Amino acid sequence: MRPAPSDGYRRALEAHHRAAPPSRVDPAIAEAVEPQTAAMRELSRRAFPEPETVPDDAPAAIEAARVQRRRQGAATEAAALRRARAERAGTLSPVTVPRSLGRTA
């Protein structure tokens, strides 16, 4: 249960209600706007349909991207390890970096 508002809060709220201008909504205008709003919502619904529901066990798009990045990273790491092992075994020559790439400016 909420505690009762303090006297200062109630006084401030009363002062606000006295100072705030009364609502100027014309009921006839509000009634005329309702069908227009409904029509705009329908047009929006047709233009931007809700996506088909995805089963709960299906991975989300972000999760699918993460899985793909992990697989690519694992494949790159495996290739690097194979190359390093081959270089250590002497079956593959080490990669040589041209001198021009070793310096800047």
Percent of the chain with pLDDT over 70: 80
Q: What rounded mean pLDDT belongs to the chain? A: 84
Per-residue CA distances from 50 to 45, 47, 53 (Å): 8, 10, 8
Measured distance CA(72)–CA(78) in Å, rounded: 10
Could you give the CA distance from residue 90 to residue 98 in angstroms, rounded to a whole number?
A: 21
| Section 14-28 average pLDDT | 85
Q: Which of 39, 58, 55 is nearest to 47 (CA)?
A: 39
Q: Is the dihedral of CA 65, 66, 71, 72 positive or negative?
A: positive
The pLDDT, as a whole number, for residue 96 is 60
pTM given for the model: 0.34
Reply yes or no on whether the pLDDT at 75 is more than 80. yes
